[in-house]
Amino acid sequence: MPGGTVYAQFVSFQREYPQSLLGDTPPEVIAALIAIYPVLVTANRILGFITWTTDSCYRNFVVFCLYSLLILHWNNYFLIVLPTIMALSFCCYAWFIRKSYVEFGESGHSSPTIEEVLNTLDNFTMRSSLIFDMNIKEMASKRKIRSLLTNLSVLTPLYSLFMKHHVSANTWIFMVSLIMYTYYSSPFMAMRQLLWRFKPLRYVAQVLTGEHYPLEDKDVEITILNLNTRESIDRNTKIAELHLVENQRRWLGVGWCSKMFLWEETPSYYSPDTKRGFDTLSQYEFPLLRNYPHSTWTWVDDSWRANGGWTYFDYHWQDGQQQDSLTRYTRRRLLKRKCLLSLRR
């Protein structure tokens, strides 16, 4: 609309399938798809509600407003309207399931066509990708999960004291629910990306979770494309040299090992190019170039090679020196490996 704010909207997917699709599909597959169609419609509606990608989001706002009133005024509603709310919730659930199961009869025939089933499956897949494609791989690494659980366990007593003296449990639940409920909403996603640019907010996130978040964004594309320009084959083909920092800790009875303490922020392998940590070399991922999303990477060297010797540190990764001693408990070295980068837009 002119002069107004326009948000991106999810459009139901309608793909044109070939006319011979029905004849080429085995009858067993068609029967299975038709049988699972009501369940698929129900799951598609639930994902549409979670991801805020339905035709109209007013239901999401109404449900969240009712939920907020229930949480913030729980003491007033507990004995008065709780039975009514439970009955209405069950009725809404039954209505939702029934509508999903009988929706395919609206088109004038008793069973859906194979095209309707596949279009619903495509919409379900696209909505699922909205949930699983939001940097889940980076967030769900074993090291991140262990570190986050350890930090939250240590900070739990502080949270309890803060809730007891400053913030009520109802307000705390409301704040957490607000973040979880609106996590996949397009306006709130844009708002989070804008707010995350502020350094004070990242610092507050570090204090609340105990995790380390970089206070400065690094332009990976400029860093990668400026490496080894002398070895460039042509304008769109370059030989880049990637680097890794290998960290090890000395364990009693084991010796030097890549295992770290659960509360340590230092990963076993760290990429200074992408600012990411890895537990093993097999988890290394090539950088993503913003202006060249279809670029391809091919290793030139067979393996990672050491670029210099070890630097030994004390127990807290301080006071580095080149010689090992009884007071040295940690060490690190730089690894390098060449690869062929073909730029593709």
Asked if residue 9 belongs to a domain, the reply is no
Put residue 19 in one of left, alpha, beta given phi > 0 → left and psi -120 to 50 → alpha. alpha
**pLDDT digit of tens for each residue in the chain (345 aa)?**
444 443 344 545 555 555 555 566 777 777 777 777 777 887 888 888 888 877 777 778 888 887 887 777 777 666 666 677 777 777 777 776 666 665 554 544 456 777 777 788 888 887 877 777 655 555 555 666 766 777 777 777 877 787 777 777 778 788 888 888 888 887 787 888 788 888 888 877 777 766 666 655 544 444 455 454 446 667 778 888 888 999 999 998 889 998 887 667 778 888 887 777 888 888 888 877 767 777 888 898 889 999 889 999 998 888 899 999 888 999 999 999 988 888 777
| Same domain assignment for residues 308 and 287 | yes
DSSP label at 234? B
- Rounded to the nearest 10°, the torsion over CA 135, 137, 141, 145 is 50
Asked which of 82, 112, 133 is the last residue of a domain, the reply is 133
Residue with tokens 């083909």: 237
Tokens of 200: 């004070």
The closest of 37, 176, 61, 219 to 110, measured between CA atoms, is 37
Tokens of 70: 């229930």
| Same domain assignment for residues 70 and 106 | yes
Asked if residue 6 belongs to a domain, the reply is no
- pTM of structure: 0.49
Q: Which domain holds residue 158?
A: 137-209
| Same domain assignment for residues 290 and 227 | yes
| Same domain assignment for residues 49 and 80 | yes
Q: Which residues contact 237 (CB under 8 A, 6 or more apart)?
A: 340, 341, 342, 343
Asked if residue 1 belongs to a domain, the reply is no
Asked which of 170, 192, 209 is the last residue of a domain, the reply is 209
Residue with tokens 């791989």: 137
The closest of 44, 47, 41, 57 to 8, measured between CA atoms, is 57
Asked which of 133, 154, 187 is the last residue of a domain, the reply is 133
Cα distance between residue 117 and residue 56, in whole Å: 22
| Same domain assignment for residues 125 and 153 | no
Q: How many domains does the chain have?
A: 3
Asked if residue 16 belongs to a domain, the reply is no
Residue with tokens 């060249």: 292
Asked if residue 20 belongs to a domain, the reply is no
Contact 330, 345 (CB under 8 A): no
Contact 291, 224 (CB under 8 A): no
| Helix residue spans in the chain (DSSP H) | 21-24, 27-50, 58-72, 74-77, 82-102, 114-132, 136-139, 142-165, 169-181, 186-195, 199-209, 220-225
| Same domain assignment for residues 334 and 221 | yes
| Same domain assignment for residues 251 and 235 | yes
| Same domain assignment for residues 231 and 333 | yes
Contact 230, 243 (CB under 8 A): no
| Same domain assignment for residues 109 and 161 | no
Asked if residue 13 belongs to a domain, the reply is no
pLDDT the model gives residue 97: 67
pLDDT the model gives residue 212: 63
| Same domain assignment for residues 58 and 126 | yes
| Same domain assignment for residues 174 and 229 | no
Asked if residue 22 belongs to a domain, the reply is no
Q: How many residues does the chain have?
A: 345
Asked if residue 185 belongs to a domain, the reply is yes
| Same domain assignment for residues 254 and 287 | yes
